[in-house]
Amino acid sequence: MSPADAPSPPQAPPPTRTADRVHRWTATALLAIMGVELVIVVLNGQWMTAFLVAVIMGITLAPILLRAQLPVHIPPEFQVLAIAFVFASLFLGEVRSFYERLWWWDIALHAGSGLLLGLLGFLLVYALNENERVDLHMRPRFVALFAFCFALAAGALWEVFEFGMDRFFGTRMQKPMLGDPSGLTDTMWDLIVDALGALVISSLGWWHMHMKRRSFIEAWIQRFVDGNPRLFPR
């Protein structure tokens, strides 16, 4: 068989049209909102806020601009949730002061981060578990445990980051609560909510693997597998 007749390696399928359009429209809308905000704060001479908005815009654009360089294909559904979370936590939370305006904003975002990080941890260990080139075979309960611990560890690192920013740069990332100006209560509630979100997603992942029940996790896993044929050879 000549090289020209040899079968070509499998290529990652394009994302579903609906998911791809939603991702593109969401990113465009959020970038437009932040672009208007950037112009306003620059005209008002609020340089620190302008820098923060520019950084958030860069974080939002990075997965789109660097898509070809990423070692794995990330499903557009997950990208939509990620950029929406960055927008809600950094732009609305810090720039537009939603943390002060809405008492439940921080709780809702930490619950969301627990879900996202738990899903990310589940996908990572699932990829290793199903890859024939990696000698790793974990039972469903250990995959779920890894996803839970991964999300909780990431949440703990974020709390360390908040503490360091407040201590060395005078920010107010740790939100003092009534009766506890030190921010310790806020930190503990953040970790508790992170753990609850991670518990939900890891339980759903375990249910999917152990009971073979259909869920949105199954669809996301299948798209992750189909989009990364290099990691999951047929």
84-113: per-residue pLDDT in tens? Answer: 988 998 899 888 889 888 888 988 998 888
C-alpha–C-alpha distance, residues 234 and 229, integer Å? 7
Q: Determine the pLDDT at residue 19.
A: 73
C-alpha–C-alpha distance, residues 99 and 186, integer Å? 12
- Which residue from 229, 233, 205 is spatially nearest to 219, judged by alpha carbons? 205
- Position 5 in a domain: no
Q: Determine the pLDDT at residue 230.
A: 73
Do 122 and 87 share a structural domain?
Answer: no
Q: Determine the pLDDT at residue 45.
A: 86
Q: Are the CB atoms for 53 and 91 separated by under 8 Å? A: yes
Per-residue pLDDT of 16-44, as tens digits, reads: 567 778 888 888 899 999 999 999 989 98
Could you say which DSSP state residue 44 is in?
T
Per-residue pLDDT of 117-157, as tens digits, reads: 888 888 777 766 665 555 556 788 888 888 899 999 999 99
C-alpha–C-alpha distance, residues 191 and 107, integer Å? 10
Q: Determine the pLDDT at residue 177.
A: 67
- pLDDT tier, 55 (very low <50, low <70, confident <90, very high otherwise): confident
Which residue among 78, 96, 114 closes a domain?
96
Do 117 and 46 share a structural domain?
Answer: no
Q: Are the CB atoms for 193 and 112 separated by under 8 Å? A: no
C-alpha–C-alpha distance, residues 94 and 104, integer Å? 14
C-alpha–C-alpha distance, residues 56 and 96, integer Å? 13
Do 201 and 121 share a structural domain?
Answer: yes
What sign results for the dihedral spanned by CA atoms 190, 86, 203, 150?
Answer: negative
- Position 3 in a domain: no
* Structural domains of the chain, count: 2
Do 177 and 121 share a structural domain?
Answer: yes
- Position 9 in a domain: no
% pLDDT > 90, the chain: 14
- Position 206 in a domain: yes
Q: Which residue has the higher pLDDT, 219 or 204?
A: 204
**pLDDT (mean) for 176-194:** 79
Rg (CA), the chain: 20
What sign results for the dihedral spanned by CA atoms 82, 171, 155, 215?
Answer: negative
Per-residue pLDDT of 208-234, as tens digits, reads: 777 766 666 667 777 777 777 776 665
- What φ, ψ does residue 177 adopt, rounded to 5°? -115, 165
Per-residue pLDDT of 111-122, as tens digits, reads: 888 888 888 888
- Cα 166 to Cα 119, 156, 162, distances in angstroms: 29, 15, 6
Q: Determine the pLDDT at residue 136.
A: 59
Domain boundaries, position 22: 18-96
